[in-house]
Each structure stands twice: as structure tokens, then as C-alpha cells.
Amino acid sequence: MPDTSDSHPDIHWPSGFSPEQAHSFCQAQAVVHAPPATAFALLADVPRWPQWVPGITETRAGPLARTYEVLFHGQRFEVFMGEQVAPRRLGWSGVGAGVQVYQAWLLTAVAGGTHAVIANVVRGPAAQSLAAKSPVWAQRLNTLWMAQLKRLSESAPDGVGG
């Protein structure tokens, strides 16, 4: 059972995906020196994820609105962009072979930019296996997502995402 003591109280978890129900849970946060709208625009633009999200090499529009097929480290995931409350909240769920994930972002305006929180709940046999072999794998991914979001948001011209 992962440590869920740092779970952010303002994140909306869908049924079945609370941190307490996870095989892997992690969270990261940072201050991004750009407006929330800039960070949100980058996160919500799924077709551009391969350009900046570590491990994602391809995205394709799915058959329904707000659905995508995403290749992550060679594994195919069906992704649904769920919660989208611009420019404050974003959440998506993904299903792949032996794994289900829900990733939530919370973006809050602060002096000098945005306080960004990313949290992941991962479930399934593949998540259990990875957690046993490398307990910090999910935290490393969160740290990479956050570093890339910070870099791109802060370098965006006139506070525009991308």
C-alpha cells in the first residue's frame, strides 16, 4: 500500500481511483513562473504531448471526443481527458495492458506564477510489479512531467502555452 499522507485535499478523484485504492500513488509540486492559463494550455494539448512529455512518442485522436490513443514507452494507452476546468484543474484517465492510471493536475495562481500539483494513482498488475521492482518509478515520472511543464511554461512567449 503506497503512502498517501501527502495527497492534496483539493484533487477530485474518480470512483475507484483514490490514493488509498492505488497500487502506486505519488505527487509532486512546484512553482511555475508563468500564469495558470499557460500551464493549463500545455497540459490540455494532448496532441503535443510527444513533443515534451517524457516517454510519450505518439498520440492519436480517439473515436470519441476527448479520447486519445497514446504510446508511452512503447505501450498503448487509451486516454480520456476527464476533468477540465480551465485554467485550474485537469485530470485524465488511461488504460493500458495491465495498468490503469488517473493523473490529476491542480494549478493555483500565486505571487510570481502558478503553484502546480501533479498526482497519480496507478492500479493493476503492471503497477504492482513496477512498484515492487522500483518503488520510486512513478515519482521520477512526476518529477520529469513537472520539470518539462515548468521549462515550457516559463519559456512560452507572452505567457501563451506553446
Q: Would you tell me how many other CB atoms lie within 10 Å of the CB of residue 24?
A: 22
CA distance 139 to 28: 7
HEC letters along the chain = CCCCCCCCCCCCCCCCCCHHHCCEEEEEEEEECCCHHHHHHHHHCHHHHHHHCCCEEEEEECCCCCEEEEEECCEEEEEEEEEEECCCEEEEEEEECCEEEEEEEEEEEECCEEEEEEEEEEECHHHHHHHHHCCCHHHHHHHHHHHHHHHHHHHCHHHCCC
- Cell, residue 41: 494550455
Residue of 38, 71, 76 whose CA lies nearest to 57: 71
In a domain, 59, yes or no: no
| Number of domain units in the chain | 1
Radius of gyration over every alpha carbon of the chain, rounded to an integer in angstroms:
15
CA distance 14 to 1: 19
In a domain, 3, yes or no: no
Segment 60-66 shows an average pLDDT of: 95
Residue 3 predicted with pLDDT over 70? no
What's the CATH code of the domain at 134?
3.30.530.20
- The residue that leads in pLDDT, 21 or 107, is 107
In a domain, 117, yes or no: yes
**In terms of residue numbers, what domain contains 92?**
19-44+83-155
pLDDT digits (tens, 9 = 90+) for 102-118: 999 999 999 999 999 99
- The residue that leads in pLDDT, 3 or 152, is 152
Stated pTM of the model: 0.86
pLDDT at position 1 is: 45
In a domain, 138, yes or no: yes
In a domain, 126, yes or no: yes
